Amino acid sequence: MWTVAVLIREGISLFEFGVTAEVFGIDRSEAGLPLVDYRVCSDGGPGRVESKHRPSVCVESTHGLEGLADADVVIVSATLPSTGNSAEHRAIREAHANGALVVSLCSGAFILAETGVLDGLSASTHWLFEDELARRFPLVDVVSANLFTDTGRVVTGAGTAAAIDTCLHVVRRELGAAAASTIAKRMVTAPLRHGGQQQFVDWPSRVDAAGADRGDTGLAETLDWAKARLGTNLDLAALAERSALSTRQLTRRFIAQVGTTPLKWVTHQRVQRAQELLENTDLSIDQIGHDVGYASATQLREHFRALVGTTPSAYRQSFNLGA
């Protein structure tokens, strides 16, 4: 029996809490996974805890804070930004001292930081809260934009959907890749993403709604054309010629409608395509680099690490289940 205890409090975010219930709170023993003693813990519980949503939805905790003490994994779920109370802090410190893997989701990092278990460690949170976390807890090295950060006995996850990546990572490191893959398939979620992958995409692949509302379809056609030809020369002149615009006009329109420059957008699309090929094929790194438009594997590695936070080889090892 594997024990996972989730700490909830007033102002709980239902999405992140729901992820913990989906990953750890379902009996999947028929698929070969171990049974999980899934505990929902709150100060003063068992009892009802109101969500941050309006109208509020209540979650019923199954345990008080004593449920954290002997857990294998303790998860501090997301809530309205709070540093928690002294009773919660003592319970988390005790669980950590007893050998539990301690995890925070999104704003739960503030509670972990207040306990001191993050002092001297790297940590992740939602990108909206990064500056505040760094300001309030200078002993914590806040890692910008990571999906999650694993420092050994503490794992901190970013916001909202990154809770899925964080919880599946915990399953992967504690129970193995096969268990994580089984749960991911049941959840109909994408292959596991590396913690260093960014929380959000800076360069969307299509014109935004505002651009579409203006009836400007020319740029969207250019983007589709470029995505189908990533292995060819896609310099500024080629994109401008396809768009029937000057290079200066094209750059202005890209920044206004896509949010970045044409060449940065092309780089992102090439790296994204490389990720797909690493996940789904056995092509060599050199061949993938060539297929997405780079003259050498070295160029691919440089851009890949800058955007994804890891090397193509390490990414393939993590996410190509057939490798």
- Half-sphere CA count of 15, side-chain side, radius 13 A: 12
Token match 């790296």: residue? Answer: 271
Q: Are 143 and 123 in contact (CB under 8 A)?
A: yes
What's the Rg (C-alpha) of the chain? 22
- Indicate yes or no: pTM above 0.85: no
State how far the Cα of 45 lies from the Cα of 60, in Å rounded to an integer: 9
DSSP string, 117-164: TTTTSEE---GGGHHHHHHH-TTSEEPTTBSEEE-SSEEEE-STTHHH
- For residue 169, give both structure tokens: 């990572």
Q: Show Cβ contacts of residue 249 under 8 Å, excluding neighbours closer than 6 positions.
A: 240
Q: Which residues are bridge partners to 39 per DSSP?
A: 5
φ, ψ for residue 5, nearest 5 deg: -115, 130
For residue 176, what pLDDT is reported? 85
CB atoms within 10 A of CB 97: 10
Burial class (CB in 10 A: 0-12, 13-18, 19+), 143: buried
Each residue's pLDDT tens digit, 176-231: 878 888 998 899 886 566 555 555 434 344 333 333 333 454 688 899 999 999 99
Report the alpha-carbon angle 182-184-186, nearest 5.
Answer: 70
Return mean pLDDT, the chain. 88
Each residue's pLDDT tens digit, 50-102: 999 888 899 999 999 999 999 999 999 999 889 999 999 999 999 999 999 99
For residue 209, what pLDDT is reported? 35
Each residue's pLDDT tens digit, 118-177: 999 999 999 889 999 999 999 999 988 788 999 999 999 998 889 999 999 999 889 887
State how far Cα 146 lies from the chain centre. 7
State how far the Cα of 114 lies from the Cα of 226, in Å rounded to an integer: 48
State how far the Cα of 170 lies from the Cα of 269, in Å rounded to an integer: 29
Distances (CA, A) of 204 to 146, 163, 193: 18, 22, 18
For residue 178, what pLDDT is reported? 83
